[in-house]
Amino acid sequence: MTMKNYENGGQVSENWDTVFKSLSAEPRRQLLVSLLDAPPDQPVPLPESAAMPNCPPDPDVLCVELYHAHLPMLAEMGFITWETDPLVASRGPQFDEVAVVLDALHSMAASIPDSLVVGCQRLVQEQQDNIDF
């Protein structure tokens, strides 16, 4: 069997790596989902659009993390654009590359194992139940 090499194979692989890297941290996932849920030309407010609804972090800490790490990374990838006054994010020129993955995940939500979708409140309650005697 002969393998066929394609000129853009390396670029395609790099594009997939970029999409999965963008989804590898909770604030980035939440922000991208918020943008997916918003009208295409509508910016979303930060930090609230990057916070997990059932387990919100300290907003001041999240703002620092967004400003210094998450927002520059997503902007460099082309998935978002952002502004500081007020702190908002919008869809970037490459947003469709990550949106298609999020859409696919949402369409399969019923098939995703509970361990990947259990909310933070349920986890906290389960931990408290295990501590109580």
Q: What is the mean pLDDT of residues 26-47?
A: 96
Kindly state whether residue 2 falls inside one of the protein's structural domains.
no
**Domains in the chain: how many in total?**
1
Residue 28 has pLDDT above 50, yes or no: yes
Residue 133 has pLDDT above 50, yes or no: no
Kindly state whether residue 6 falls inside one of the protein's structural domains.
no
Of 116 and 106, the structure prediction assigns the larger pLDDT to: 106
Which CATH number belongs to the domain containing residue 63 in this structure? 1.10.10.10
Q: 119 lies in which domain range?
A: 11-131
Kindly state whether residue 83 falls inside one of the protein's structural domains.
yes
Please tell me the predicted confidence (pLDDT) of residue 24.
95
Kindly state whether residue 61 falls inside one of the protein's structural domains.
yes
- Please state the pTM of the whole predicted model: 0.79
Residue 109 has pLDDT above 80, yes or no: no
Kindly state whether residue 17 falls inside one of the protein's structural domains.
yes
Kindly state whether residue 113 falls inside one of the protein's structural domains.
yes
Q: What is the mean pLDDT of residues 37-62?
A: 91
122, 116 contact by CB (below 8 A): no
Intra-chain end-to-end CA distance of the chain, in Å? 63
The Cα–Cα gap between 123 and 133 comes to: 18
Lowest pLDDT segment from 26-35, 55-64, 65-74, 121-130: 121-130
Kindly state whether residue 66 falls inside one of the protein's structural domains.
yes
Kindly state whether residue 58 falls inside one of the protein's structural domains.
yes
